[in-house]
Amino acid sequence: MMCDTEAQVTVQWKAESRGAILREAASALPYETGGILLGHWHYGNVVITNMVGPGPKAQHHIAAFTPDRDWQYEQIDLLFAESQGTIQYLGDWHTHPRGVPFPSKTDVSLLASIASSPESRCPRPIMYILATKPKLKWTERLYLYETEPRDSEPRISPLQVCSDNPPGRTGPPPPSTGS
Ligand SMILES: [Zn+2]
C-alpha cells in the first residue's frame, strides 16, 4: 500500500465507488456533474465506501450543476438501510470540466455551510474535485475542511488516498470488507 503513514489523515477509497465517479464524470462531459460521498471515519482516517450520483433530474452546465436532491436523499436512505446504519455522509464530489482541481469560492462556501449545518452532521466535510478538461489528462484532489480547534481559521487541506485502485490502473486489490 503506497501510503504515507506520517500523514495526519489518510483515505481509503473503495475502487467500485471511485470507478462509478469516473464513469459518471465521463458521461456528463462537456458538462459538470457531481454527487455525494459516503462511508465512515475510522480512528481519525476516512474510509469512502459509496458514492451517490447527480440524479436523473440534475441540471448540468459548463461550470455548475444542480443535483436532484430528492433522488439523492432516496439513494442515501437506501444505502443507509443496506449498511444497517454504518455509513454516514462524508462530503461531496464534482467535476471541473474546464478547470483545475482546486476549490472555487463557491466550493469553499459549500464546505463552510456543510461544516456549520447541524443537519448535515458533518463537521469535517471532504470534497473530491476531478478536473475533466477534454484532451488533457484528468487531475484530481480530495480535500478536508476543518475548523477545529474551535475558533481557528478554517483550513482546507489536500488528503492522500492510500488504497487507490481505479479501473485501468494496476495496483493491489481493494481490502476485503469481510462481507
Ligand atoms: Zn468546484
Give the model's confidence band at 134: pLDDT under 50 very low, under 70 low, under 90 confident, else very high: confident
> pLDDT-based confidence at 168, cuts 50/70/90?
very low
* Cell numbers linked to 69: 436532491
Q: How far apart (Å, rounded) are the C-alpha atoms in residues 43 and 40? A: 10
The pLDDT tens digits of the residues spanning 8-33 come to 788 999 999 999 999 999 999 999 99
Residue 151 CA to ligand 1 centre (angstroms): 26
Query: What is the CATH class of 10-163?
Result: alpha beta
Taking alpha carbons only, the member of 104, 86, 149, 87 closest to residue 123 is: 149
Q: Where are the domains of the chain?
A: 10-163
Banded model confidence at residue 170, pLDDT cuts 50, 70, 90: very low
- β strands within 53-168, DSSP E: 59-60, 65-66, 88-96, 126-131, 139-146, 155-163
Residue 125 CA to ligand 1 centre (angstroms): 14
